Amino acid sequence: MSGNQPPGYGYPQGGSGQDPYGQQNPYGQQPPQQNPYESGGYAAPGTPPAAGGNPYDQGQYAQGQYAQAPYGAPGGAPAGMPPLAESGQRFLARLIDTGVLIAFFVVATALFVDFDDATAMSFSGNIMASLMGYGLYFVYEGVMLSRDGQTLGKKAMKIRVAMLADGRVPGSAGWIRAAVYALPGVISCLGVIFWLLNSLWHLWDKPYQQCLHDKAAKTVVVKTS
């Protein structure tokens, strides 16, 4: 650059009047853009997840970050976290799974209730049918939730159960959740009251919208799409 040529806009002058940047705008060539989320397995904000999927769905939520910024906490849910399932989705999913429970009771009743014996039908037959029906449902839900966090109803409604701390599949916690939901049903009227209270609990629970069986298992119900 000649001495009588004004410097480029925004460039400081050295003592010799030379452009200290070597007559080349260091900002003229943009550095390679790097998505800061990619290293953590996240897609850029506002874009679909990158290949590999949502790390929350794969149980890879790094270093318990979700536990530090949970739903409703300052800052809200971290990027990449799926939204909580809606009450309508949960109700319809439970309705479908109740159909499974009814099917188990039909089988149990056919095996243990003698319809020709009113005494057996009122006492031992009904007790055994109840134990078997709720027992089968406990196994059904425990197996499904521990495997991928979804029962048939949850698959149909595109929601799933996830661990509250990091989003992974419940595993053994799925059995805890299933036990708290299903097994109290064998206690007759008290079981029905608990079941109703348990199922409605998420309507007023904040910020995670958990039922009592979610609290026992430390799980949360989220959308899968």
For residues 112 and 126, give the distance between their C-alpha atoms in angstroms, rounded to a whole number: 7
Q: What are the residue ranges in the chain where pLDDT is below 50?
A: 1-2, 5-17, 20-22, 25-53, 55, 57-69, 73-76, 78
Question: What confidence score (pLDDT) does residue 216 get?
Answer: 96
Question: What confidence score (pLDDT) does residue 139 get?
Answer: 96
Question: What confidence score (pLDDT) does residue 92 get?
Answer: 97
The sign of the CA dihedral 152, 153, 158, 163 is negative
Give the angle subtended at the CA of 202 by the CAs of 201 and 204, to the nearest 5°: 80
